Chain A
Amino acid sequence: MELLNIKDLATIASDDQNKKILDGLNLTINEGEIHVIMGPNGGGKSTLANTIFNSYRYIKTNGSIIFNGEDITNKSTDEIARLGLFMSFQHPVELPGVSETNFLKAIKDKKNNEHQDVFALQKEIKSKMEALNIDYDYLKREFNVGFSGGEKKKNEILQMMLLNPKLVILDETDSGLDVDAIKTVVKGINLYKNDNNAVLIITHSTKILEGLNVNQVHVLVNGKIVKTGDANLAYQIEREGYQSLLNEN
């Protein structure tokens, strides 16, 4: 079943409205699939992720986004999230004074639309932390404050596992991570992944793709998807770069 359908999407930057970023982008993702988006810097990869979430940084000038049968093109970020979309941020924020526990409880309660039993939640969080090799001590710490880059990314995956969304967008979750941390992230994705949900991975490297069952790889250049292929396309890009690929066209 079709989970995400993006048609003719075009955006400009809120703070520089002459700047076109996405320019006629089309993408369809079905349940059970893993898609990968690669592409040179500045091509619009992160913009795509944030446009789907209706970030204040971008303005849509054309196109539509249908998620799970609902038109989310003009919905607010929180409505979109509550429909079952999740993004692992490239640069997660820090929240001084907000403990990891309180943060996780707040988002989980919102998702369930009720206050969950604290002990049951604690148990659930701990089992997921264990899978991701996150120390329980982090529960008492302030959210992301003083966390290393790798710890912040694992914290994103932890939230993903806890919220169990329908579609996950991983925006360069692997960048800056060491090999072991990438393996942990992949483990998290595999624990989460099933036939009814889907993953969209934005990346520069194939490291994160090893151990994942990738269905499609898209190349995003100048705001458009210029090429789509299977997992081998990613390895070809890693070997040969984007330039030779673009010359082929």
Chain B
Amino acid sequence: MKTRVEENTTLQNIYDIKTKHEFVDKEYGLTKETIEKISASKNEPSWVLEFRLKALELFHELKDPDWGPDISYLDINKIATYVKPNSKENKSWDDVPDEIKNVFDKLGIPESEKEQMAGVGAQFDSEIIYHNLEDKLKERGVIYCNFDKAITLYPELIAKYFAKIVPVTDHKYIALHYALFSGGSFIYIPKGIKLELPLQSYFRLNEPGAGQFEHTLIIVDDDASLEFIEGCSAPGYNDLNLHAGCVELYVGKNAHLRFSTIENWSKNLLNLNTKKCIVAENGKIEWIMGSFGSKVSMLYPLSVLNGEYAKASYTLLSFAGNGQNLDTGLKVIHNAPNTTLYCDSKSISKDGGICTFRSNVYVAKKAVNANIAISCESLMLDSISRSDTIPVSNINNNQILFSHEASVGKISPDMIYYLMSRGLSEKEAAALIVEGFAEPIAKSFPVEYAVEMNRLINLELEGTIG
């Protein structure tokens, strides 16, 4: 992300940079013909096209969820389902067309790659325009590439994992995803390989009224470890944009995956993303998620703890402002003994924003000694905002530890008054309090994200408090 906050300059929203870019192809709507066209332009094996068309049928058959935020106004025929940027995939930023490179420069992606990343992928609308991995990691068998390419390059791994972790039948918008998927990253970390630096994929949705359907598949084999960072953003337009990505993760025995997401989609976007991870014996998945953007988000990463001593941890932060409905949370399935779930969730809502936290925990009969601790705190900056906590659990044995704590707070006028008596403006005072509230979560983020998050909080509070 943007790693340096320029001091003494007025806060300008770097995410809102609008770029005039002449795409080479833009497809609207969702018909057999569009999908055939997308598939043909990617030179995919024929089974992929068949799979896409089956997913399309399912999309039409399945119904919208009968719970959660209203998304009935989504008209898929008005979404540009495929937008091909005027750029091939490059290995050097110098080869990326200037108008695209400028966007990523402003987001700080090439800069952070130099200093802090072992590899970076960047997607602009529907296609990956940059992908690179350190040579020494390639030599050790690490794979990090455009997902589209992985389909032909690594057929065995694709056959074993693709659409297996998240099946096409999961829900209506995953069916949509599989009909239209394009771009995203594929990662394979071989047995015993521990990456010291993270890999980062950045997804930028540029075109008004477009959809993004990237597919991310990560396999961290036994005894391996990886930190993966995913960033997403889009400039604001009036047209409705749609993001229906999919993340499939597999964490092997004694393996560790830290999956961090900072999502700052524009506030005209529906974020209907699906993420799921299967964890083997003594493996660990860490979900770290900051949700700032989008009009509506529905996102509940699922961890399936299949091996004994498998662990899932969730560190979540959402910030909903005017017109935003961020419906997030977690789903965890404890399928083995001695499995652990730890969740620390915080949400901030203001100007009528809605934050909902849903937790859905299933403990199988055989999953004795499961240990589950969920804490969620919300902060409301005014009386018109909303915050809900909806816990669901289905526990099938009586030898577990389960705790669920929830609290709701407001910024006290005394805190604001105190800080103002030290010279801070009302907005600065509120920002400091909100940063403090978010701090225990923010410190889990990669350092440059934490800086960025504080900046986002300040931006969000600009002109809205007082």
Closest Cβ neighbor of B429 among chain A residues = A78
Q: Which residues of B contact A81 (CB under 8 A)?
A: 420-423
Q: Which residues of A contact B433 (CB under 8 A)?
A: 95, 98
**B438 pairs with A97, CB closer than 8 A:** yes
A67 at the interface (CB under 8 A from B): no
Q: Which residues of B contact A114 (CB under 8 A)?
A: 8
A140 at the interface (CB under 8 A from B): no
**B422 pairs with A107, CB closer than 8 A:** yes
**B425 pairs with A93, CB closer than 8 A:** no
A97 to B457, CA, bound (A): 15
**B7 pairs with A97, CB closer than 8 A:** no
Given contacts A95-B436, A98-B435, contact A110 B424 (CB under 8 A): yes
| Closest CB in chain B relative to A223 CB, distance in Å | 21
Closest Cβ neighbor of A169 among chain B residues = B421
Contact size range, B:
20 to 34
Q: Which residues of B contact A53 (CB under 8 A)?
A: 417, 421
**A93 pairs with B413, CB closer than 8 A:** no
| Closest CB in chain B relative to A197 CB, distance in Å | 16
**B420 pairs with A77, CB closer than 8 A:** yes
A78 to B437, CA, bound (A): 22
**A110 pairs with B428, CB closer than 8 A:** yes
A82 at the interface (CB under 8 A from B): yes
Q: Which residues of A contact B439 (CB under 8 A)?
A: 97-98
Q: Mark B401-432, 1 if CB is under 8 A from A, else 0.
A: 00000000000111101101111111011001
Q: In the complex, how many residues of chain A place their beta carbon closer than 8 angstroms to a beta carbon of chain B?
A: 30
| Closest CB in chain B relative to A113 CB, distance in Å | 10
How would you classify the secondary structure of chain A's contact residues: helix, strand, loop or mixed?
mixed
A53 to B424, CA, bound (A): 13
**A142 pairs with B436, CB closer than 8 A:** yes
A107 to B413, CA, bound (A): 18
Q: Which residues of A contact B426 (CB under 8 A)?
A: 76, 78
**B412 pairs with A93, CB closer than 8 A:** yes
B65 at the interface (CB under 8 A from A): no
CB proximity to A under 8 Å, residues B1-22: 7-8
A56 at the interface (CB under 8 A from B): yes
**A56 pairs with B417, CB closer than 8 A:** yes
A111 at the interface (CB under 8 A from B): yes
A176 to B318, CA, bound (A): 41
Given contacts A82-B423, A106-B424, A115-B7, contact A95 B413 (CB under 8 A): no
A56 to B421, CA, bound (A): 12
Q: Which residues of A contact B7 (CB under 8 A)?
A: 115
B440 at the interface (CB under 8 A from A): yes
| Closest CB in chain A relative to B348 CB, distance in Å | 12
Q: Which residues of A contact B417 (CB under 8 A)?
A: 53, 55-56, 77
Contact of A78 among B413, B414, B415, B423 (CB under 8 A): B423
A37 at the interface (CB under 8 A from B): no
Closest Cβ neighbor of B434 among chain A residues = A97
Q: Which residues of B contact A80 (CB under 8 A)?
A: 421
Q: Which residues of B contact A102 (CB under 8 A)?
A: 432
**B423 pairs with A111, CB closer than 8 A:** yes
Pairs across A and B, CB under 8 Å, 12 listed: A53-B421, A55-B417, A78-B420, A82-B423, A93-B412, A95-B436, A98-B432, A103-B432, A107-B424, A115-B8, A142-B436, A143-B436
User: Could you list 12 further interchain pairs (A-B, Cβ under 8 angstroms) beyond the known A93-B412, A93-B418, A115-B8?
Assistant: A76-B420, A76-B426, A78-B420, A81-B423, A95-B432, A96-B436, A97-B439, A98-B433, A106-B428, A110-B428, A114-B8, A143-B436
